[in-house]
Structure 1
Amino acid sequence: MEQIKVLIVDDEPLIRHALGTILATDSGIVTVNSVENGQAAVDYCKDHQVDVVLMDLQMPIMDGVSATKAIKSVEDSPSVLAITAFSSDEYLVPVLSAGASGYLVKDSEPDEIIRAVHAVHQGTAAISPSVSSDLVSAVREAYRDNSQDIQDLAYDLGITNREFEILKLLARGLNNTEISRTLAISETTVKTHMAKIFVKLDVRDRVQALVAAARMGLIEIPKD
C-alpha cells in the first residue's frame, strides 16, 4: 500500500516536529518535508509529489490562506488540511473558500489528526466538530445580506427533506456512520444522499457543502 505523502507547513519548529511525530505513528503516512511558510509550501508542491498539505494559517512571507489558494489553483493539486491554534471565525471561511478540504485545531487528539489526513486524501474532507457550528455561524454572518427566500431556493435546488436532515447533522460534525445511526438508514444510503447534495450545491466535498449550505441559509447554527 502506497503511503500518503504529507507536507507540514508551520512557522514554529516545535509544532512541525510534533506533527511529524504524530504522523510517524501511522505506517500509511510519510512526512516528505516540513517548511516554515506558505511560499515555501507553494514552491515545494510545484517540484515534488505531495498528497496532503498540513497548513498553518498565520505565517510570515505568505499566510496559509494565500498559500492554499495558490496550491489549489494547479490541476491535480494535493489536498490541503488547515491546522491552526485558532478556531476564530475570521480564519474558517477564507481558508475553506480557498480550497482547503478540512480544518482542525492544533489541540485535536493525535488520532483525529491522523484520521483527518486519511479523510482528505480520500476526498471526503474533515473538520473538527468543535468548530463546525462556528463555521456555520461565520458563513451566515459573512453572507447575511442574502435575501433570497429559503423555501424558493430549496425548491430551485431540489433539496429534499432527507437531504436537509443530513445537512443539519453534517453541520454538527457527524460523519457518515454517525449520520446513518442517527437517521436509522444505511451508510450506503447516506453516501448516496451526500453525493446528490454535492451535485445540487455544486461542491466537491463535505466541507464545501457545509460552506455552501450555510452561505445560502439552508442550515441553522446547531443549538446543542
Structure 2
Amino acid sequence: MVIERRADLQVVSEAADGAQAVAAAFEFRPDVVVMDVRMPGMTGVDATRAIVRDWPHADPHPKILMLTTFDLDEYVHAALHAGAAGFLLKNSQPDQLADAIRIVAEGESVLSPSTTRRLINVFTRLPTAHHSAAGRDDLVGRLTERELDVLVLLAKGHTNTEIADSLGLTESSVRSRVNRILTRLRLDNRVQAALAAYRAGLIPDEEP
C-alpha cells in the first residue's frame, strides 16, 4: 500500500520467503528489491547473496534494500558483504521507505547518520572487527586527499548534497568522487565504504 500510493513506484511482485524472493527477482527483474532480513527458510541475507551472485541476465541485478531491526549482528555483517545497497529500520515512516527505494534505484545507498552509527556499533562488536594501520596506509595510498575527505563525510552518513556543501564542491563532482572511491577500493556500495573507513581508523570511535 505504501509503495502503490506513489505514482512513480510500482510493486511488480511479492514473496513470502527468501527463495521466492530470488525466483521473483530473476523472473520480474525489478529495479529494487525490498528485502526482510529474517524470513522462513532462506534468510534475506542469503537471498541477497543469491541475487547478486547468480543474476542470470545481462542487465545489472536489482538494488537491494534491507529491512532490519539490527538485532542480529551476524545478519547485518553478512548483509554488508552480500551486496545490500541500503538498510532501513522496520519502524521507518512510509515516506522514508518510498524515498529509500528511489535513492537506491538511482544507484545511491541509504545510509543516514543514525544508521551509520548503528552499523558501526554492530560491526565493532564482531570478533573480527579491528582498526588496521596497514589497512589505513593501503586505503590512503589508493585515494586522493579530496577523495579521503569525501569518504570520511560519506562514512558519517552525509548525503552527496551535504558533502558538496561541506567541501565546496558540486553535487556531480561528489558523485563522481564517490564512484571513483568505490571503484578504487573495489567496493559495491556506500555502506561497505563506511565500514572500510572505520576499519582504516579514519572515523574515531567516539564520533557520532
> TM-score with structure 2 length normalisation?
0.85
Matched, 1:28 2:13: no
Other-structure match for 1:156:
141
Matched, 1:168 2:118: no
CA distance, structure 2, for counterparts of residue 173 and residue 190 of structure 1? 14
Shift in alpha-carbon separation, 1:32–1:222, aligned structure 2, 3 A: farther
Deviation at 1:140, TM superposition (A): 4.6
* Range moving further from structure 2, 180-189 or 21-30: 180-189
- Mark the runs of 5 or more structure 2 residues left unpaired by the alignment: none
CA distance, structure 2, for counterparts of residue 47 and residue 150 of structure 1? 40
Shift in alpha-carbon separation, 1:155–1:82, aligned structure 2, 3 A: closer
CA distance, structure 2, for counterparts of residue 150 and residue 97 of structure 1? 18
Deviation at 1:207, TM superposition (A): 2.1
Shift in alpha-carbon separation, 1:146–1:85, aligned structure 2, 3 A: closer
Identity value in percent: 35
> TM-score with structure 1 length normalisation?
0.79
Other-structure match for 1:208:
192
Contact 2:83 2:189 in 1 (8 A): no
CA distance, structure 1, for counterparts of residue 198 and residue 86 of structure 2? 16
Other-structure match for 1:7:
none
Shift in alpha-carbon separation, 1:59–1:165, aligned structure 2, 3 A: same
CA distance, structure 1, for counterparts of residue 183 and residue 106 of structure 2? 18
Deviation at 1:137, TM superposition (A): 3.4
Aligned Cα root-mean-square deviation (Å):
2.3
Q: Figure out how many residues of one structure are paired with residues of the other and give that number.
A: 203
Other-structure match for 1:12:
none
- Mark the runs of 5 or more structure 1 residues left unpaired by the alignment: 1-20
Which one has a larger percent strand, Structure 1 or Structure 2? 1
Contact 1:171 1:222 in 2 (8 A): no
Other-structure match for 1:10:
none
Other-structure match for 1:120:
104
